[in-house]
């Protein structure tokens, strides 16, 4: 079930990959769009029923990262825009899980290998790689609760 949910979410998120290259304007989206529309701060303030100082504070808050989602949503509405909030993974969710599973499996294998080396029971490199790959595939399939520990 977890894998199916992850796959569906990966498909949805793939549509947002192009957003990764989009950079915010230096003065923020609110100011850039307001300026592009030819709307003054006082005009936007009237549309939002706030003071012009509040508009200035909102635009500064966006740039410094302290804007709230709600204030961004309200400002976007005043600009006849839709506010969109997203967390876009750097890689697919599946690839992120696989990478974490491999890291965890490698640590587990290193611990086990140390014991086997001391007991002179070390398997061949090919056997260790096959065991590692099998452990990774199992972790990805099961997604154990301790995967991210």
Domain ranges across the chain: 20-88, 93-148
Neighbouring residues of 106: CB distance < 8 A, sequence distance ≥ 6:
132
Residue 128's pLDDT is what? Answer: 85
Using the predicted structure, report yes or no on whether residue 113 has a pLDDT greater than 80. Answer: no
Which overall architecture, per CATH, does domain 20-88 show?
A: Orthogonal Bundle (1.10)
Please provide the DSSP assignment of 93-145 as one string.
Answer: HHHHHHHHHHHHHHHHHHHHHHHHHHTT-PPPHHHHHHHHHHHHHHHHHH--G
Residue 4, both tokens: 């199916």
Instruction: Note the pLDDT tens digit of each residue in 121-133.
Output: 667 788 889 999 9
For 30, residues 6+ apart whose C-beta sits below 8 A from its C-beta are 58, 59, 62, 72, 75, 76, 79
**Range in 20-34, 58-72, 102-116, 125-139 the model is least confident about:** 102-116
Q: How far apart are CA 105 and CA 113, in angstroms?
A: 12
65-112: per-residue pLDDT in tens?
Answer: 999 999 999 999 999 999 999 999 999 999 999 999 999 999 988 877
pTM of the model as a whole: 0.75
Separation of alpha carbons 149 and 136, rounded Å: 15
């Amino acid at each position: 079930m977890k894998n199916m949910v992850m796959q569906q979410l990966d498909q949805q998120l793939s549509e947002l990959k192009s957003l990764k290259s989009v950079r915010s304007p230096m003065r923020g989206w609110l100011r850039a769009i307001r300026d592009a529309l030819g709307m003054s701060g006082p005009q936007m303030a009237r549309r939002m029923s706030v003071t012009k100082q509040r508009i200035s504070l909102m635009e500064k808050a966006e740039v410094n990262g302290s804007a709230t989602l709600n204030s961004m949503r309200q400002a976007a509405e005043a600009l006849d825009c839709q506010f969109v909030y997203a967390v876009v993974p750097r890689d697919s969710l599946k690839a992120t899980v696989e990478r974490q599973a491999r890291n965890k499996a490698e640590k587990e294998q290193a611990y086990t290998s140390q014991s086997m080396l001391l007991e002179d029971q070390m398997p061949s490199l090919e056997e260790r790689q096959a065991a590692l790959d099998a452990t990774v595939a199992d972790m990805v399939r099961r997604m154990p609760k301790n995967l991210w520990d």
